[in-house]
Each structure stands twice: as C-alpha cells, then as structure tokens.
Amino acid sequence: MPEVISSATYKARKVHSCDYCEGDILPGEKYTRDVLIIDDIYHWKSHERCGVIANQLIRSGFLVADDGITEEMYQEAVRELYDTFVENPLPKPSMEEITKKLEILFLTHDLKEHKPKGYVEGYLLEERREQNP
C-alpha cells in the first residue's frame, strides 16, 4: 500500500492535469495534491471527484492498490462502473462525463462487494444510511 505523506485540497489557479482521468483540472476547480511513497516519491494531482471515486474503488476491493493505482487501472474501472451503474448512459462518454456521473452516485452510495454466498460475485451500490453533509 502506498504511504501517503501529505494530502491537501486546493483551488486550481491554472490548468493542471488529473493523474487519474488525464483530463484538465480547470482554474477554479478543486483538486487534491498528494505526496506518496511507493519505492520512490510521487506527486499525484487529481480532481476532487476522481479522488472520491478512487477511494470507493480501493475501499470496496474493486481495485487492489498494493502498488498504487495507475491511470489505466482507474480509467478501466470507472468505465466499468459507468456501464454498470449509470442509468441512460451516453453512447461514447468522455472521462469527464463518466467521472461527473459517478461523483453524483457516490454522494449517496457506497460501492460494496456482493457476496451472498460468502464469496465475491460482483459489486453493487449500497445507499448510505447516515448522510454525510
């Protein structure tokens, strides 16, 4: 598991690139800057929403992040979540459209393992009981 040295949220003053979805972080948008150690030191910038989605992917076990998550792993996983959980999906959504839809879902739902017989058969969205403000 990568060691997080620091993590802070900023408001972008210039255009940055998100290390998860590879999209632009536009001026005025919130983004997260993490400093991680995985053998070496990494600086990781991401949209706030991509950080939220990545947390869901890791917490649920959907992605195993022993050596950190690469942008390929992330993008493949969010495409899969989008196809599975978003109603009326667009035919060819952009990463921005995908992550914005998933961000809305994760405001009220958590990604959970579905294991009715004790082993993981898939993943589902479970509505959160206590609402985070």
Q: Which residues bind Zn ion (CB under 5 A)?
A: 18, 20-21, 47, 50
Closest separation in Å from C-beta 122 to Zn ion: 25
CA distance 86 to 59: 20
Closest separation in Å from C-beta 15 to Zn ion: 13
Nearest residue (beta carbon) to Zn ion: 18
Are β-strands 40-47 and 109-114 bridged in parallel, bridged antiparallel, or unpaired? unpaired
> Which C-beta is closer to Zn ion: that of 58 or that of 124?
58
DSSP labels for 46-93? Answer: EEHHHHHHHHHHHHTTSS--TT---HHHHHHHHHHHHHHH-SS--SS-
Closest separation in Å from C-beta 130 to Zn ion: 27
> Which C-beta is closer to Zn ion: that of 24 or that of 126?
24
